[in-house]
Amino acid sequence: MCDMISEQSTEKIGRMKKLRRTLSESFSRLALKKDDNNFDEICVAKMSTHNSQAVDSVIKPLDTIPEDRKVRVQRTQSSFDPFDKPTSQVKRVHSENNACINTKCSSGGKESPKLRRHSSPSSPTSPKFGKADSYEKLEKLGEGSYATVYKGKSKVHGKLVALKVIRLQEEEGTPFTAIREASLLKGLKHTNIVLLHDIIHTKETLTLVFEYVHTDLCQYMDKHPGGLLPDNVKLFLFQLLRGLSYIHQRYILHRDLKPQNLLISDNGELKLADFGLARAKSVPSHTYSNEVVTLWYRPPDVLLGSTEYSTCLDMWGVGCIFVEMIQGVAAFPGMKDVQDQLERIFLVLGTPTEETWPGVHSLPHLKTDRFTQYSSKKLRHAWNKLDYVPHAEDLASKLLQCFPKNRLSAHAALNHEYFSDLPPRLWELSDMSSVFSVPSVKLQPEIGDSSKVYGRSGNHGKSFLNHKH
């Protein structure tokens, strides 16, 4: 028996020596290679060493890995979602990714050619993508708990950019929100979603470089109090739904819809921004945090403690923003806490029951004795300007549904009768085509007090957007 154990140990040691020798040969070949595949092969090599089956079999040289296998490995790596990992695991994976990105070729310590793909061989000192000195900070735009946003200028192409500088702390690693925002935005290409130009990573900061958009919907409404022009509301809402429909079709939830996160360009282009709380929704459904969405735009199911939600979470926010654009005030401006926020919602939409909202009594934060029993009312009784715009009240009522499954989807909302007087070409646009590429569509100049426009005797709809049917 002892001899058998000894033979097995010897055989195992032999396999391990063979494995070590094979790995050494593979990395020796990697160090000698100087082509553009070097970067990808190092990444593949790092992942291959974690394969549990490698101990019992001889690893093939990396040169012999089929191309389709390389692509598969890279795709798996890029779809990593750190939100589902414990903090310590995120730190470990993030540091491994950094090690992979920052790997130098052992011959001369030079960077991989893949990392220098943006630079010009003839001008080594010219501005490069991915370099902090390629951007000039012009002024500070705002500061949050973990990031500061600057207006900047690119030395690469000379255009204005927004620099979101995220402070890194060595003991805590890169914030979840920064990893999530960068990974999601890398794959989103739509005219109604803010464009991520570049990512700059140093020891102290992670900088996300975005296209520069000069204002947001919150500032725009503050500048034009009393409600926006009905025609402009329609254009803004249509663009918001376009962007949401795009991300929802890709199983991505924004989770923080509010006017501050909707950027508005000079010509009226609306762009979804700040994907720090966004996440990819996997199938089957996972349990998510209910600490999402600013209180005024947070749906009642989340306020009541639900952690199982889908794209309907964002659609409640759309309804709130729609009402606010028309009425000129927030739909449900809670002033105290969650209890106050729910009271304001139930005052208009009615206190939920099992008949109106199946399963509501199973939600953890619902205490029926704490809420006044209200009956539902017409939305125009709460927000009178909805009554002056054809089909606006009907659309708002289908978005502001307490029962999540009753809320209209972004795709369905785009086809609501409220948008029936828009040019048909708007539904045929490609993802990267602006609504303003249709010649007859343009933003109307706000005239200050919009109360006259919302009067019943107004001529709204007769010359909408100056287009002809």
Q: Which residues are catalytic?
A: 256
CA distance 428 to 332: 35
Q: Say how far apart CA 310 and CA 255 lie, in whole Å.
A: 10
The SS3 call for residue 231 is helix
Q: Are 442 and 268 in contact (CB under 8 A)?
A: yes
Instruction: Give yes or no for a contact between 286 and 309, defined as CB atoms under 8 angstroms apart.
Output: no
Task: Report the C-alpha gap between 359 and 441 in whole angstroms.
Answer: 44
| 265-281 exposure pattern, b = at least 16 Cβ within 10 A, e = fewer | beebbbbbbbbbbbbbb
Do residues 386 and 379 lie in contact, with contact meaning Cβ atoms separated by under 8 Å? yes
Beta-carbon count within 10 A of 321 CB: 27
**Which residue(s) pair with 439 in the sheet?**
none
Question: Following CA atoms 182, 184, 186, 189 in sequence, which dihedral angle do they give, to the nearest 10 degrees?
Answer: -140
Helix (H, G, I), strand (E, B) or coil at 147: strand
Cis peptide before 284 (omega within 30 of 0): yes
Q: Which residues pair with 104 in a beta bridge?
A: 111
Closest CA to 318 of 230, 224, 412: 412
Torsion angle in degrees (nearest 10) through CA of 302, 326, 226, 230 = 160
